[in-house]
Structure 1
Amino acid sequence: MKIAVTGGSGKLGRSVVRRLRQDGQTVFNLDQVGQRSQGFVTVDLRNYGQVADVIHGLDDRHNGLDAVVHLAAIPAPGLAPDAATFENNMLSTYNVFQAARRAGIKKLVYASSETVLGLPFDTPPPYIPVDEEYPARPESTYSLVKHLEEQMAIQLTRWDPDVSITALRFSNVMDPEDYEAFPSFDQDANRRKWNLWGYIDARDGAQAVARALETAAPGFEAFIIAAADTVMSRSSAELAAEVFPGVDVVKDLGRHETMLSIDKARRHLGFEPEHSWRDVHSNRTTPTED
């Protein structure tokens, strides 16, 4: 397929572009930042004309796309004024979705966020593990936009039942070099309670994108995408009991099982995390004394 990836220069985007190319796809990275390279195109996603133009065709590089992966955004709360976050993220997503529909593209996969689940959980979650079944609980402008993007996708797929839009509610994206800090999280269980001690390896995030492109049916679906484990060495049941004592734990938790349920992604997408921070630390050997 010929696939446009918006935000392909970002932390998750780099892994997605790499994975899709390894799978044999032709990938165009639509971003405002990045080095001149194969498939890189400078685009301001807030400008509908630019977005529509590059999705419909680009000189001799392509004359139409088969799918769009939309990852570009101000990626977290607090990085820009709230109004700037709302304007940038909402407008960019509308432009990408609308331009893709106008171009006849039927498959879109995009980055929603774990934040719609109620992060930072100053109000405790309704139950643990959290899943896609309870209504969105945005607690910031950033997560409000993510919720509104999902609502927009629902309506767009209602307008055009042949269109498939998949929202991947990514957890905190990590690269292997980030795992150096993970053992320090054990010092304070509250330090990472804000997302139920979750994360996602960028390579597994890319796997989820690839699976969604392969398997998603027409219509809208949202999936939590997280690692199979937590960022902690302590057991998941112990963490839940200590930090959220009044919250029902609705299933038996494995020792380090994620509390951001990925059961739906496993069932419908065939998603299965392949990377854990524990693999990095277990592969390190302790120097022996002479």
Structure 2
Amino acid sequence: MRIAVTGSSGKLGAVVVRELRAGGHEVIGFDQHGTRGPGFVQVDLADYGQVVDALQAVGDQHDGVDALVHLAAVPAPGIRPDIATFHNNIASTFNVFWAAIRLGVTRIVYASSETVLGLPFDVPPPYIPVDEEYPARPESVYSLVKHLEETMAIELVRWHPEVSITALRFSNVMVPADYAEFPSFDADARARKWNLWGYIDARDGAQAIARALDAAPAGFDRFIIAAADTVMSRPNDELVAEVFPDVEVRGALGEHTTLLSIDKARRLLGFDPQHSWRDGL
């Protein structure tokens, strides 16, 4: 496929571009910052006209795309003022969804977020491991936008039943250079409780996107995307007993198995994370 990837210069985006190209796809990166050259278009996603133009054709770079991967955003709370985060993220997502649909692009995969699960879990989760079955619990403006984006996607596919929009609720994205810090997390179980000690290797994030582009049917669905393990060497039962002693545990926790359930992504997308921080130390 010819795939447009927004946020192509970001931490996850750069890996996604690399991995999709390695998988045989033609990739056009869209971002406000990046290296000029084939396969990259500088575009302000908050400007709808630029988005339409960039998706439709750009000089001799391309004459339309088959699929859209939307990763561009202010990537976390606390980076910019809340109002700037809200205006940038919701407008950019609407622009790329609406432009893609208007141009006949029917395969859209985008970055939602683990934050909709209730991070930083100052209010404990309803049960552990968490999954996609309970209603969103946004606790920040950033997370509120992610919830609104999912709601928007539900309505867009209702209006356009031929369109597939897949929301991937990515955990904290990591690259191999980040893993040297992980052993220090064991000293304080609460230091990483904010996302139930989860993470996702960017290479496995790219795999999830590729799987969704291939396998997701028409309509909307959402998936938690995390590594198969936690960031901790300490066992799960010890962590949960210390930090969330009153939360219902559903099933076996496993010694280090992710507490952000990826069972749905495994079952419906064929997602199979291959990378762990434990392999690189």
Whether these two folds match at TM > 0.5 is yes
The residue correspondences of 1:269-284 to structure 2 (distance < 5 A) are: 269-281=269-281
Per-residue deviation, residues 105-164 of structure 1 (Å, max 9, x unmatched): 000000000000000000000000000000000000000000000000000000000000
Per-residue deviation, residues 257-277 of structure 1 (Å, max 9, x unmatched): 000000000000000110000
Matched with 2:263 is 263
Q: Secondary structure at the match of 1:41?
A: strand
Rounded to whole Å, the distance in 2 between the matches of 1:177 and 1:33 is: 22
Matched with 1:216 is 216
Matched with 1:46 is 46
The residue correspondences of 1:168-247 to structure 2 (distance < 5 A) are: 168-247=168-247
Are 1:26 and 2:20 an aligned pair? no
Rounded to whole Å, the distance in 2 between the matches of 1:135 and 1:43 is: 34
The residue correspondences of 1:115-154 to structure 2 (distance < 5 A) are: 115-154=115-154
Per the TM alignment, residue 60 of structure 1 is displaced from its structure 2 partner at its CA by 1.8
Does the 8 A contact of 2:131 with 2:224 survive in 1? yes
Q: Secondary structure at the match of 1:221?
A: strand
Rounded to whole Å, the distance in 2 between the matches of 1:130 and 1:17 is: 30
The count of aligned residue pairs is 281
For 1:229, the aligned partner's letter is D
For 1:265, the aligned partner's letter is A
Rounded to whole Å, the distance in 2 between the matches of 1:86 and 1:120 is: 19
Q: Secondary structure at the match of 1:27?
A: strand
Rounded to whole Å, the distance in 1 between the matches of 2:213 and 2:238 is: 37
Could you tell me the percent identity over the aligned residues? Answer: 70
Matched with 1:285 is none
For 1:38, the aligned partner's letter is P
Rounded to whole Å, the distance in 2 between the matches of 1:15 and 1:204 is: 10
Q: Secondary structure at the match of 2:179?
A: helix
TM-score (norm. length: structure 2): 0.99
Matched with 1:287 is none
Matched with 1:103 is 103
Per-residue deviation, residues 240-260 of structure 1 (Å, max 9, x unmatched): 111000001101011100000
TM-score (norm. length: structure 1): 0.96
Rounded to whole Å, the distance in 1 between the matches of 2:217 and 2:234 is: 38
Per the TM alignment, residue 238 of structure 1 is displaced from its structure 2 partner at its CA by 1.4
Rounded to whole Å, the distance in 2 between the matches of 1:259 and 1:38 is: 41
Per the TM alignment, residue 37 of structure 1 is displaced from its structure 2 partner at its CA by 3.1
Rounded to whole Å, the distance in 2 between the matches of 1:238 and 1:218 is: 42
**Unmatched tracts of structure 2, length 5 or more:** none
Per-residue deviation, residues 5-30 of structure 1 (Å, max 9, x unmatched): 00010000011001110011000000
Q: Secondary structure at the match of 2:192?
A: helix
Rounded to whole Å, the distance in 2 between the matches of 1:37 and 1:236 is: 47
Rounded to whole Å, the distance in 2 between the matches of 1:267 and 1:236 is: 23
Rounded to whole Å, the distance in 1 between the matches of 2:138 and 2:221 is: 18
Per-residue deviation, residues 165-196 of structure 1 (Å, max 9, x unmatched): 00000000000000010000000000000000
Rounded to whole Å, the distance in 2 between the matches of 1:180 and 1:277 is: 8
Rounded to whole Å, the distance in 2 between the matches of 1:237 and 1:200 is: 21
Q: Secondary structure at the match of 1:65?
A: coil
Per-residue deviation, residues 3-58 of structure 1 (Å, max 9, x unmatched): 00000100000110011100110000000011123311100000000000111111
Per-residue deviation, residues 216-257 of structure 1 (Å, max 9, x unmatched): 000000000000000000111211111000001101011100
Matched with 1:165 is 165
> What RMSD in Å do the two structures reach over aligned CA positions?
0.5
Rounded to whole Å, the distance in 1 between the matches of 2:145 and 2:261 is: 22
Rounded to whole Å, the distance in 1 between the matches of 2:104 and 2:52 is: 11
Larger radius of gyration: 1
